[in-house]
Amino acid sequence: MAGVSRCLKYSMFVFNFLFWVCGCIILGVSIWIRVSKDAQEALDINSSNMFVGVDVLIAVGSIIMILGFLGCCGAIKESRCMLILFFIGLLLILILQITGGILGAVYKPQLEKGLNLTLTEAVNLLKGNTENAKQVQESWQKFQLQSQCCGLVNGPADWGSNINLVIDGKAVCECEQQYEEKNLCTNFGGRRVFKQSCKTVILDFFKKHMDIIMGIAFGMAIIEVLGLVFSMCLYCQIQRK
């Protein structure tokens, strides 16, 4: 009876070992960010939505670690049970990835509408005076200065009476002289502020980087398909052994 290809066996082991290491790194960094106040302050993580993103990364890292472990042990021990579990897990991820891509394309208008609704609701925090609102205002002010934008949907008007707030030594949406030459400033309430809304900046970012996102997704899909092929080939060889 035919034996198991050593080249395929160890290629499968190395592939999944690297897969497992990536999962460890994602999981370790995510947990560190989740529990370390210093890391949260350095990355400016102070909202529940951002913590949800970190929790998702913890889940992703855990799944990658488990799949990598199953693939490594299944290959080195020639375990059909572990290999089939690895195959099923990787196949489910690939199916979810494809489904997510299809749903994203089909429901793109609804996603944009949902983004508009979320941003519109967040406008109330820019106008508010609660502690939670103040934290959001501080974070958003940093984003505005970095992106040369103001407000969420309707520009400076989104800040209401808070447009004259001073945060970290700078007035909200303050458009400095260096941006005048780029035609990024406008008059509002007797001040020079950024005229572009941050919603426009966010949408432009996604449009400009959509090719990169699609490229990463396509590359991941190829790696996943190779993993499926290698695991099934090794499974069949072990079965014929």
Residues 173, 198 share a domain: yes
Determine, yes or no, domain membership for 119: no
Task: Provide CB contacts within 8 A for 117, sequence distance 6+.
Answer: none
Residues 218, 195 share a domain: no
Determine, yes or no, domain membership for 44: yes
SS3 track for 66-111 = HHHHHHHHHHHCCCHHHHHHHHHHHHHHHHHHHHHHHHHHHCHHHH
Q: What is the distance between the alpha carbons of residues 82 and 226, in angstroms, rounded to a whole number?
A: 17
Q: In the chain, how long is the greatest CA-to-CA distance?
A: 87
pLDDT of the residue at 1: 41
Q: Which two tokens stand for residue 13?
A: 């082991």
The residue range of the domain holding 24 is 6-108+211-240
The count of domains in the chain is 2
Residues 19, 82 share a domain: yes
Walk along the chain (241 residues) and give the pLDDT tens digit of each residue. Answer: 455 678 888 888 888 888 888 888 888 888 887 777 765 665 555 555 556 667 777 888 888 889 889 888 888 888 889 989 999 988 988 888 788 777 766 766 666 677 777 777 778 888 888 887 888 888 888 888 888 888 888 888 888 888 888 888 888 888 888 888 788 888 988 889 898 888 888 878 777 776 776 777 777 788 888 888 888 888 888 887 6
pLDDT of the residue at 45: 56
Determine, yes or no, domain membership for 113: no
Q: What is the distance between the alpha carbons of residues 72 and 79, in angstroms, rounded to a whole number?
A: 10
- Is 120 within 8 Å of 134 (Cβ atoms)? no
Q: What is the distance between the alpha carbons of residues 84 and 167, in angstroms, rounded to a whole number?
A: 56
Determine, yes or no, domain membership for 21: yes
Phi, psi of 155, deg, nearest 5: 75, -145
Residues 195, 224 share a domain: no
Task: Provide CB contacts within 8 A for 150, sequence distance 6+.
Answer: 144, 156, 158, 159, 172, 173, 193, 194, 195, 196, 197, 198
Residues 50, 30 share a domain: yes
Residues 80, 47 share a domain: yes
Residues 215, 98 share a domain: yes
Determine, yes or no, domain membership for 116: no
pLDDT of the residue at 224: 82
